[in-house]
Chain A
Amino acid sequence: MTTSMPVTTAGQPVRASGGGLPGAVASEWIKLWSVRSTWWCLLGGAGLMLLTTPIIGATMANNKKEGTTVPVGDVAVATVYVAQFALIALAMLMITAEYASGSIRTTLQSVPMRGRLLAAKTAVAAAVSLLAGVVFGLIGVGVSSLSLGDKAGTAGGEALGSALRIGVYLALVAVLTVAVAVAVRSAAGTLTIVFVGLTVLPVVLQASDIDPLVALAERMPNSAGTVFMNADTTPYGPGMGLLLLVLWALGTLAVGFYALRKRDA
């Protein structure tokens, strides 16, 4: 690589448009699809759905009385609690990989407005997770109707509705993950907080048998997500479940934004 020749640096004047929030979103989009980890996360999530759906479906069918069917949407929802970690990893890496490599400083130089940057990352993570989540949901309902055979409960548009709600749930979990990652910066910290918050803490609180703690557990993202995705009616309706999920995501996002703005990069 010999470049001792005279250097010309002047280019054409750059056009005085573009950039802004759409530019920041486009940039995040390019960044997301130009690393292999994104593809591994998506393939891994789809693979997990494919492999675990028949197992979880069989378990649920065994627990049912003879002659009753298992709604395939419920099987898909139960499987998503495993596969969601693929999309959590995807959303997390959009932030933590930048902190690990130091490229966050390049990113903040190009988009110095912290709010714009966080909005762009959140939008891209949510959009990709929404679409991937719907696909995961469809895999879940499709595979479980095949594997359950005559035990599969495939009532009309129910299954499709489940797939859509799974997409929405995973989009909001992605937002939550981005928010936690921005606040703590490291992959290990983010994964620990999200894993404990989504799966461990609600179980511990539930087991405590102390009323306010049980009530809290019922309103955490995991339970709210179950109520929303399964369209349950207890302890509250699916609308309330969605509202709780949105509040958790936005609340955490506010914490992440505060940390990002206050902190030196």
Chain B
Amino acid sequence: MITLQGLTKRYGGQAAVDNLSLTIAAGRVTGFLGPNGAGKSTTMRMIMGLDHPTSGQALVGGRPYAELAYPLREIGALLDAKAVHPGRSARAHLRALARTNGIPVQRVDEVLETVGLTSVANRRAGSYSLGMGQRLGIAGALLGNPGVVMFDEPVNGLDPDGVRWIRGLMRGLAAEGRTVFVSSHLMSEMQLTADHLVIIGKGRLITETSVKELIDSSSLNAVRVRGADQEGLKKLVARLHEWSVPVRWESHNELYITGLTVDRVSDVAYELGIRLHEVRSVEASLEQAYMELTADSVEFGAASGHQHPGAGA
């Protein structure tokens, strides 16, 4: 379990992390989301005792990182895949790590096997691909068999096979009852992997919710209506306006209607005698729900077109 209590980090006058309080529970995958510069990595570095909080504290199993006698047995983290001396072999790197925390040396071979690096364990880490470096970082995180694992952007630069592997690994670790805390930019990936979400923007907590709740709450869940009868569609729009139901023309023969069910829309069309070719519900993706939620807290946003449901789905 990871506990943040009023965690704050200021650089100069600006708060990178601003009074963040939360508990990351065991037995599930908690996704840590937020735009670039939202403070995700800073938060993770403070949890790992690398950065000093300006105020507040981050606790692992109830204690600050610096007070853990054998930290690698409590929490393992992949913060930066390339954080290995390029001239050192994976095996030597892990053996050196193991010695600091009194971890038996045979555990090195176990984790190398787990991440699939056994055959290249004696090669210089500098010769590794990004994916292999990522696997080595994960081997280091698992070395002490910790109850808490934390990954910062673990699927960055991985091939589809590697992405699937990480997904399975994280699900597996959570199923074993461990705390899994993972940051990512890839919403589609989080939608598949995470149970719970912590979303921050500009260093502050925006929301803490489940993946399902977040998607359900999106205004972009809509009913898509398509038909060749333009006059009929106009009549439908007029009726919906009377009821103050939000409706939007997607093209000359397509409507998106928010707040009504497919059944209700179909009934209204039937009552009005409109011939339709398609009525179906469109569910917002996690990405869309997330974009909607964080629209105000994007620090380095570019001017962009209107987000509409179904785009890129």
Count A-B contacts at CB 8 Å.
Answer: 147
Query: Residues of B at under 8 Å CB distance from A?
Result: 45, 48-52, 65-66, 68-73, 77, 79-80, 82-89, 92-93, 95-97, 99-104, 107, 110-111, 114-116, 131-132, 140, 142, 144-145, 161, 164-165, 168-169, 172-173, 176
**CB-nearest residue of chain B to A97:** B85
Residues of chain B lying within 8 A (CB to CB) of residue A34: 88-89, 92-93, 96
Task: Say yes or no for A23: interface residue by CB 8 A criterion.
Answer: yes
A-B contact sample (8 more), CB < 8 A, given A10-B176, A103-B93: A4-B164, A9-B173, A11-B145, A27-B97, A30-B95, A30-B96, A101-B84, A265-B45
Binary flags per residue of A100-118, CB closer than 8 Å to B gives 1, else 0: 0111111011111100000
Residues of chain B lying within 8 A (CB to CB) of residue A104: 83
Check A23–B99 contact: CB distance below 8 A: yes
What count of chain A residues pass the 8 Å CB interface test?
46
Interface window among A13-21, A72-80, A162-170: A13-21
Give the residue of B52, B69, B85 whose beta carbon is less than 8 angstroms from that of A101: B85
Interface of A is mostly: loop
User: Can you spell out 15 A-B residue pairs with CB atoms less than 8 angstroms apart?
Assistant: A12-B104, A14-B104, A17-B102, A18-B103, A30-B96, A31-B92, A35-B88, A101-B85, A102-B82, A103-B93, A105-B45, A106-B84, A109-B72, A109-B77, A264-B45
Give the residue of B68, B79, B169 whose beta carbon is less than 8 angstroms from that of A7: B169
Interface residues of A in 216-265 (CB under 8 A from B): 264-265
Once A106-B140, A111-B100 are accepted as A-B contacts, the answer to whether A7 and B83 lie under 8 Å apart by CB is no
**CB-nearest residue of chain B to A36:** B87
Residues of chain A lying within 8 A (CB to CB) of residue B83: 101-106
State in angstroms the CA–CA spacing of A7 and B111 once bound together.
11
A54 CB → nearest B CB, Å? 33
State in angstroms the CA–CA spacing of A152 and B89 once bound together.
47
Query: Residues of A at under 8 Å CB distance from B?
Result: 1-4, 6-20, 23-24, 26-28, 30-31, 34-37, 97-98, 101-106, 108-113, 264-265
Once A1-B116, A18-B99, A27-B99 are accepted as A-B contacts, the answer to whether A110 and B72 lie under 8 Å apart by CB is yes
Check B104–A15 contact: CB distance below 8 A: yes
A146 CB → nearest B CB, Å? 36
Residues of chain B lying within 8 A (CB to CB) of residue A101: 82-86
State in angstroms the CA–CA spacing of A265 and B41 once bound together.
12
Residues of chain A lying within 8 A (CB to CB) of residue B89: 34
State in angstroms the CA–CA spacing of A97 and B83 once bound together.
11
Residues of chain B lying within 8 A (CB to CB) of residue A112: 49, 65-66, 68, 71
